[in-house]
Chains A and B, each alone.
Chain A
Amino acid sequence: MTQTARGTGSDLGVGAGVPRPDGLLKVTGEFAYSSDLYLADMLWGATLRSPHPSAWIRAVDVGPALAMPGVHAVLTHEDVPGERFYGLEHKDQPVLAIDQVRYQGEPVAIVAADHPETARRAADAIVVTYEPREAVTDPRRALFDPGCPKVGPEGNLVRHQPVRVGTVPPTAEVVVTGEYEVGMQDQAFLGPESGLAVPAEDGGVELFVATQWLHVDQDQIAPCLGLPKDKVRLALAGVGGAFGAREDLSMQVHACMLALRTGRPVKFVYGREESFFGHVHRHPARMRYEHGATREGRLVYVKAEIVLDGGAYRSSSPAVVGNAASLGVGPYEVDNIHIDAYGAYTNNPPCGAMRGFGAVQACYAYESQMDRLAEACGLDPVEIRVRNAVSQGSRMATGQVIDSPAPLAGMLRELAAMPLPGSSCSPDLRALPGGVAQTTHGEGVRRGVGYGVGIKNICFSEGFDDYSTARVRVELLGDEPHILVHTAAAEVGQGLVTVQAQIARTELAELADLGAARVTVAPADTSVGSAGSSSASRQSYVTGGAVRAACVAVRERLAALRAEHPGLGPAELLRAHGPVEETREYRHRPTHPMDPLTGQGDSHVQLALCVHRAVVDVDVDLGLVKVVELAAVQDVGKILNPPALEGQIHGGSAQGLGLALMEEIQVRDGRVLNPSFTDYLIPTILDMPPMRLSILENPDPAAPYGLRGAGEPPTLSSTPAIAAAVRAASGLALPRVPIRPQDIALAPAAPAR
């Protein structure tokens, strides 16, 4: 996407509410998504997927498919030109299944045909002989039962990360325990996996694709194609949402294989149902927690066992486990910690990156525990959190010292002081649980208020070499100074294109202030260095940092030129000298691995806090919930673009609401039961309430502009806040999210706590 806008540095610079260039196009339906890609002579790809969660493949007969008119190629693992495995952190996932399938929906064969329906019919015509075998679907059994069949290459353990701090005394004055469960959430982006691979004259391939990180795709695709990286060129196509689901490959290698085989462009677009099998999901979690505290509610120790079901392949499970462990006690000061976080291989759908990434699951559990502790100590939920809150200078579970502002206690007090919404005696059904479906006129409805606090690491952790690259060029176009910003950073809807232009305007204000300077953000592709992933709330920080660094370098070059040619204005300088271009890589400060036995280490770059208060009305007879209001306080260090930021907080909160109340991929015996938006429910405008926001700007001196990544933290704390509010309204323990109507309506008469 290209953005060109006119204006001065100040009203379009950092901090301004610059409108996004894609906004109008998206709401009017004119935005070109990757699924809209089209070339006149292109073929359509289709994928044959395993119906079994676990089976041997005894034979594959592609003959019937190849015999169909209009079919140009049918490929299996035997046709993979290069390496047959790929993966984000570890190459364990076959491009196409070889001798076995490990999850329902695993790709087995691919087809290119001249019509999408022909391609699908041909895929259906391929005859695969499976020998189904026992599917491993219980992650605890996978991990702890030595007799359990092995799903992963070395067993069923993806990662075990302990955290050991102090000693865990067997008792404290007050002890609360709990077992919690988080269901499998889906990113539920609206734009399904899609892209177009075009064979190139040099024997390489060009891939236009909706992804989160072009270069990591390139790194994985090229070896599978047996091509050098420079022959696999990627350009970002319009992305219809991501939330982590585009971090792993889906159709990329398949499209390129078919394009190279047929010599024709090949396009893939997954259907909605296929999409549910085409990307990783959020890890379901089972967690046991024990919190010990003094009678005054000060934490003495935390013990936890966190089991994350990674499904059939590794994906980013190790990093998810790392987050769950390092953030497993939350933003609280605790002297004694004993955490064991595990990632398991099973034959369930593969799980990987999703907004909040391991921190979400732990947050739901530790916040539920803080509420139990508050009750046990006779304290208010806000007070117990304030008493244990971290602040600048506190030590995390990893021993890492929080070295930038972390004013959690103040955030909580501000949140608690916000006015509460009035009671809903409105005759408008839309204000009641159930909405216009008219399940109540007020009968059975009880109000509840709950709080949630979350802490999220920003950027990649644990020693990852995390950087971004920006190329900035200033030149005269039509006799006007013009700024071109080029990065490979994926705009996934978060507003990054806008922010890059804002940074350029601020840093090159001397040009922009001429009033005539234009800023263009070039489409993202692999002809510039890696920008890293649009994930971990990191792009404003890292790509923002790179754009700023490149702009500063350009500014310095211009200053030097000016010194050589005093008296020349920017336009004259550029005319005399020609374009000025600089490329910079930006790295945040280094991080370190967690100690494998103790979990200690400065593993994170930056930590971000968000706190939520939820007000809900619960129909306790039917178990239906209306979230009346969500209020949040978040410290973002520096606001770069107010509406874009608010959008992130609203959206993150909505996704957390979905996890609390409705979003779950239901899996039974390794099979997905609800792969559709008919039955995988995400919040509508009637479910997501208006929000009251307070956004703080306590700068992080280590970060560009003092900013703190903002996209994920609200996804953490909204879920436990809503769950707490539903508990307050119903008096029930509700140890599992999403909370289903029957969990409330059919709960045993005596409250479970």
Chain B
Amino acid sequence: MDFLRPATWAEALAAKAADPTAVPIQGGTDVMVEINFDVRRPPALLDLTAIGELGDWELTADGLLRVGAGVPYARIITELGDRLPGLAQASRTVGSPQIRNRGTVGGNLGAASPAGDAHPPLLACDAVIEAESAARGTRMIPATGFYLGVKRNALEPDELIRAVHLRPATGPQYFSKVGTRNAMVIAVCSFALALHPGERRLGAAVGSAAPTPLRARAAEEFAAREFDWSGATALDPALLARFGELAAEAASPIDDVRGTAAYRRHAIAVLARRTLTWAWNDYRGKAAA
């Protein structure tokens, strides 16, 4: 197996163009497990860890946070927790401290597992993935168009992920994940919510309950239509219940070793109601203040 270690982004793109079968490796917390378990034996690994800029994040001129593909979860929690609370909460649930020190959002996107924890908050927050190839340059892919199937994403063979673009939170955000133990667990199902009160709408997304992570569109539309976005009133329990139902309906879960389809649907409804309650209470608190 070849081990390629480009020192710059341009070199990395060139290497990927020269050998599209080369497998990028950032934190290695997915790649090394697959190699170790003999799931795959790629002809070449493309190590991105020498490219310093992938580990940086910045506030762009248009007010977006541009988070490098190589920023580990641990730094998202400590450095961006205030501006990206949903993603930070999701990061906090990933694996163990060791995994959070190594693992990255870029790697989560590269793996595109339906159970990846970064995906629901990225979807709920309208994130855009910055992909790039030597041949065609930069391509901005909205998260909603990024996940194509189980462990399949929208990257072309010669493309690499450079960064993720997200708006700093414009309202309360929450992430919830069900697992069968209290730490270090792959999601049985998960739910992310981001309120955008200025736009009188919210983003809602479901994880680990369909072949891909996905937005709960009907729940989002229902919230935009039915909620009192002045923030003056508490949410009617009937609205909460309906929101939960619509979130659950967005899922198309299966029975597997981690849980049953029926349980996943049920749990998503519970998570949707709870996260919405927390977010709405935060919002009303702010609106009242």
Closest Cβ neighbor of B190 among chain A residues: A437
Segment at the A interface, from B65-73, B149-157, B172-180: B172-180
B180 contacts A440, C-beta separation under 8 Å = no
Number of residues from B at the complex interface, CB < 8 A = 33
Give the chain A neighbours of B178 by CB distance below 8 A.
Answer: 434, 437, 439, 622, 624, 741
| Neighbouring B residues of A438 by C-beta, 8 Å | 89, 93, 174-177
Tell me the minimal C-beta distance from B104 to chain A in angstroms: 19
Bound-complex Cα distance A622 to B37 (A): 32
> Are the C-beta atoms of B267 and A622 separated by less than 8 Å?
yes
Q: Counting CB contacts under 8 A, is A553 at the interface?
A: no
Scan residues 704-753 of chain A and give those whose CB is less than 8 A from a CB of chain B. 740-742, 745-746
Asked if residues A434 and B182 are in contact (CB atoms below 8 Å), the reply is yes
A120 to B41, CA, bound (A): 13
Which of A439, A441, A678, A742 lies at the interface centre, i.e. has the most chain B CB atoms within 10 A of its CB? A439
Give the shortest distance, in Å, between A270 (CB) and chain B (any CB).
Answer: 13
Q: How many A-B residue pairs have CB under 8 A?
A: 98
Q: Contacting A437 at CB < 8 Å: which of B179, B257, B258? A: B179
Task: Say whether A674 contacts B257, CB under 8 Å.
Answer: yes
Q: Which residues of the partner chain B approach A626 to less than 8 Å between Cβ atoms? A: 182
Cβ 8 A contact of A120, one of B38, B177, B258, B262: B38
Q: What number of A residues sit within 8 Å (CB to CB) of B?
A: 38
Q: Which residue of B lies closest to A441 (CB)?
A: B278
Residue from A437, A623, A661, A745 with most neighbouring chain B CB atoms (10 Å) = A437
Given A271-B37, A433-B182, A679-B257, CB of A439 within 8 Å of CB of B263: no
Is there contact, CB below 8 Å, between A273 and B259? no
Complex Cα distance, B260 from A462, in Å, reads 44
Query: Which of A273, A666, A687 lies in contact with B37, CB distance below 8 A?
Result: A273
Q: Does A686 make an interface contact (CB < 8 A)? A: yes
Contact B186 A684 (CB under 8 A): no
The answer, among A120, A273, A441, A685, for a CB contact under 8 Å with B274, is A441
Instruction: Report the bound CA distance from A435 to B176 in whole Å.
Output: 10
Question: Shortest distance in angstroms between B124's beta carbon and chain A's nearest beta carbon?
Answer: 14
Interface residues of A in 422-465 (CB under 8 A from B): 430, 433-441, 443-444
Q: Across the interface, do A673 and B266 meet the contact criterion of CB distance under 8 Å?
A: no
A430–B181 Cα distance when bound, in Å, is: 12
CA distance in complex: A373, B111 (Å): 52
Whole-angstrom distance from the CB of A181 to the nearest CB of chain B? 17
Contacts of B89 in A (CB 8 A): 438
Does the CB pair B262–A740 fall under 8 Å?
no
Whether a CB of chain A sits under 8 angstroms from the CB of B270 is: yes
Question: In the assembled complex, which residues on chain A have CB atoms less than 8 Å from the CB atom of B257?
Answer: 666, 673-674, 679
Q: How far is the CA of A381 from the CA of B89 in the complex (A)?
A: 41
Residue A662 interfacial (CB < 8 Å) = yes
Of all chain B residues, which has the CB nearest A680?
B257
> Nearest Cβ in chain A — how far from B176, in angstroms?
5
Asked whether any CB of chain A lies closer than 8 Å to the CB of B248, the reply is no
Report the nearest B residue to A685, measured CB to CB. B183
Determine if A37 is an interface residue (Cβ-Cβ < 8 Å): no
How far, in Å, is B268 (CB) from chain A's closest CB? Answer: 10
Q: Which residues of B contact A430 (CB under 8 A)?
A: 182
Fill in one digit per residue for B168-206: 1 if any A CB lies within 8 Å of its CB, else 0: 000000111111111111101010000000000000000
- Interface CB pairs A-B, < 8 A, 5: A434-B178, A434-B182, A437-B190, A666-B257, A740-B259
Q: A residues bordering B, Cβ < 8 Å?
A: 120, 271, 273, 430, 433-441, 443-444, 621-624, 626, 661-662, 666, 673-674, 678-679, 681, 683-687, 740-742, 745-746
Q: A436-B183, A621-B270, A681-B180 are in contact. List 9 more A-B contacts (CB 8 A).
A: A271-B37, A437-B176, A439-B177, A439-B270, A443-B277, A686-B181, A686-B182, A740-B180, A741-B263
